[in-house]
């Protein structure tokens, strides 16, 4: 029997708090789960610094990846025998679902911004490089690793396959909304996934939703909207991200200035030098980063020491609302005042912005163009969701942006009471 068709003697199951069970019968999937590259995802949190806001948010990319695989597995069971579905793509879909987040680094997006990295690029390198994952995928077919990479990279020729993993209603989003809601303890991310899976249909180059399931999709889109603003963009989480990024910026700056670290940043050197190979990348996970932060808390450099103490002990920056279009004059004055009293504004006065587009229709040629969700009408016509749903139409194409100004209030309050700078800083921040 060909490797791609091999089944386990007995189905393996993972107990899962969101889907109850994750079912594995394919030998290929079982072997991929056991690779060091996939097991590493146990050591990368799904929600980065969110555990400092919602204490239950300790779940990992490993959990999430298994969840996305399970949702795709269930979708494909429903697709079997339907005229627009080619079941030869089944294993490809399952592998792409399982491996889609393989390249995420520690603290994911915050880490990527500092070092100008792209987790999707590293996902591709892991799948195509000299790795255990690549070795397993090549046993299926020598071209199979490239196919898996193409699906994740959204360049695979069968767009129906791509849409299962990456679209405005895909397995990735359906898992992370429910999983993140569960582990943060909020109710916003819950929606009727069972109903959505039942009304999903494969049509040519996309997955569509039967018109009778429109209200379940409305609920899904609104839950996504609420999760972004109540959880993912929570200002306390963003404060932790600001400090995290400033620690990494400071460490990089010190390294470039030939500062003599008491605890050498061995694991970070290739990142500081902008010459990261795959081996270096895979060695770095969140447990390693947090260990360095504990060590750097005792560094002679007062800035990196203070920032590491803050992050490790959750002594986060405070924040105020900030409008960059109206308050730049005040920000410039604050920048000067912070510098005058000895607080380096590069590290202690930070504007952070978050934005989200909950749902969008097709805008050809635009950056990150989004394929819309289509409803399959009783007469078999396809209708774009916002044309049928008043709720979705109300938020379609509307990008919401929020700006906050972060600063160490404890440092400001510690300034002498007779300090004119202290009085002016507090006046501006409270205005």
Percent of the chain topping pLDDT 90: 84
pLDDT for the residue numbered 364? 37
In a domain, 367, yes or no: no
Residues 184, 320, single domain; the answer is no
In a domain, 58, yes or no: yes
Residues 6+ apart with CB under 8 A from 141: 4, 147
Q: Are strands 350-356 and 400-407 parallel, antiparallel or unpaired?
A: antiparallel
In a domain, 88, yes or no: yes
The domain total for the chain is: 2
In a domain, 75, yes or no: yes
> What's the domain range around 105?
3-232
pLDDT for the residue numbered 361? 55
Of 232, 249, 279, the residue at which a domain comes to its end is 232
Residues 147, 200, single domain; the answer is yes
By CB atoms closer than 10 A (0-12, 13-18, 19+), residue 236 is middle
Q: What is the pLDDT along the chain (431 residues), one digit of tens a residue?
A: 899 999 999 999 999 999 999 999 999 999 999 999 999 999 999 999 999 999 999 999 999 999 999 999 999 999 998 988 999 999 999 999 999 999 999 998 889 999 999 999 999 999 999 999 999 999 999 999 999 999 999 999 999 999 999 988 999 999 999 999 999 999 988 999 999 999 999 998 899 999 999 999 999 999 988 898 899 999 999 999 999 999 999 999 999 999 999 999 999 999 999 999 999 999 999 999 999 999 999 999 999 999 999 999 999 999 999 988 878 899 999 999 999 999 999 999 999 998 877 776 544 334 444 678 999 999 999 999 989 999 888 888 778 888 999 999 999 999 998 899 999 999 999 98
- pLDDT one-digit tens code per residue, 103-121: 999 998 889 999 999 999 9
298: domain CATH number is 1.20.1250.30
- Taking the C-alpha atoms of residue 284 and residue 336, their distance in angstroms, rounded to an integer, is 37
Residues 183, 245, single domain; the answer is no
| C-alpha 380 chain-centroid distance | 36
In a domain, 364, yes or no: no
Q: What is the DSSP letter of 205?
A: T
Residues 38, 24, single domain; the answer is yes
In a domain, 309, yes or no: yes
- Taking the C-alpha atoms of residue 226 and residue 221, their distance in angstroms, rounded to an integer, is 9
Of 207, 232, 257, the residue at which a domain comes to its end is 232
Residues 119, 140, single domain; the answer is yes
- Taking the C-alpha atoms of residue 251 and residue 267, their distance in angstroms, rounded to an integer, is 12
pLDDT for the residue numbered 418? 87
71: domain CATH number is 1.10.3210.10
In a domain, 376, yes or no: no
Residues 222, 131, single domain; the answer is yes
Residues 245, 185, single domain; the answer is no
Task: Check: CB of residue 307 under 8 Å from CB of residue 348.
Answer: no
Residues 266, 214, single domain; the answer is no
- Taking the C-alpha atoms of residue 148 and residue 216, their distance in angstroms, rounded to an integer, is 30
Residues 98, 208, single domain; the answer is yes
**CA nearest to 429, candidates 340, 355, 335:** 335
Residues 269, 193, single domain; the answer is no
User: How many CB atoms neighbour CB 224 within 10 A?
Assistant: 22
> What are the distances in angstroms from CA 58 to CA 168, 271, 400?
26, 26, 28
Residues 142, 9, single domain; the answer is yes
Residues 251, 132, single domain; the answer is no
């Amino acid at each position: 029997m060909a490797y791609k068709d091999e089944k386990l003697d007995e189905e393996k199951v993972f107990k899962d708090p969101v889907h109850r069970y994750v079912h594995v019968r394919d030998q290929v999937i079982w072997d991929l789960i056991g690779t060091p590259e996939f097991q590493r995802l146990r050591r990368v949190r799904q929600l980065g610094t969110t555990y400092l806001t919602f204490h239950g948010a300790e779940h990992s990319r490993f959990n999430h990846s298994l969840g996305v695989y399970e949702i795709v597995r269930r979708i494909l069971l429903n697709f079997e025998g339907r005229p627009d579905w080619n079941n030869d793509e089944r294993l490809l879909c399952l592998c792409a679902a399982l491996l889609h987040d393989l390249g995420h680094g520690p603290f994911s997006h915050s880490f990527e911004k500092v070092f100008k990295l792209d987790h999707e690029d590293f996902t591709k390198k892991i799948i195509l490089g000299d790795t255990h994952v690549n070795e397993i995928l090549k046993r299926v077919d020598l071209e199979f690793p490239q196919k898996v990479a193409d699906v994740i990279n959204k360049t695979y020729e069968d767009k129906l396959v791509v849409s299962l993993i990456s679209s405005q209603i895909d397995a990735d989003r359906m898992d992370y909304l429910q999983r993140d809601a569960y582990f943060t303890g909020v109710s916003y991310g819950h929606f009727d996934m069972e109903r959505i899976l039942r009304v999903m249909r494969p049509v040519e180059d996309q997955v569509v939703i039967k018109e009778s399931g429109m209200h379940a999709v409305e609920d899904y889109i609104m839950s996504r909207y609420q999760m972004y603003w109540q959880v993912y963009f929570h200002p306390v989480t963003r404060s932790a991200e600001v400090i995290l990024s400033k620690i990494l910026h400071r460490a990089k700056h010190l390294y470039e200035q030939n500062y003599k670290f008491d605890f050498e940043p061995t694991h970070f050197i290739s990142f500081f030098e902008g010459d990261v190979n795959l081996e270096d990348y895979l060695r770095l996970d969140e447990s390693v980063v947090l260990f360095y932060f504990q060590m750097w808390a005792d560094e002679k450099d007062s800035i990196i020491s203070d920032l590491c103490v803050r992050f490790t002990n959750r002594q986060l920056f405070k924040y105020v609302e900030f409008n960059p279009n109206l308050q730049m004059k005040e920000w410039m004055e604050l920048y000067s005042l912070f510098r005058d009293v000895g607080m380096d504004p590069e590290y202690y006065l930070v504007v952070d912005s978050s934005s989200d587009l909950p749902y969008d229709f097709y805008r050809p040629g635009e950056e990150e163009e989004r394929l819309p969700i289509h409803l399959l009408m009783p007469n078999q016509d396809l209708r774009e969701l916002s044309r049928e749903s008043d709720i979705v139409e109300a938020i379609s194409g509307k990008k919401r942006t929020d700006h906050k100004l972060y600063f160490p209030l404890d440092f400001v309050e510690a300034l002498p009471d007779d300090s004119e700078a202290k009085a002016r800083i507090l006046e501006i921040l409270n205005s």
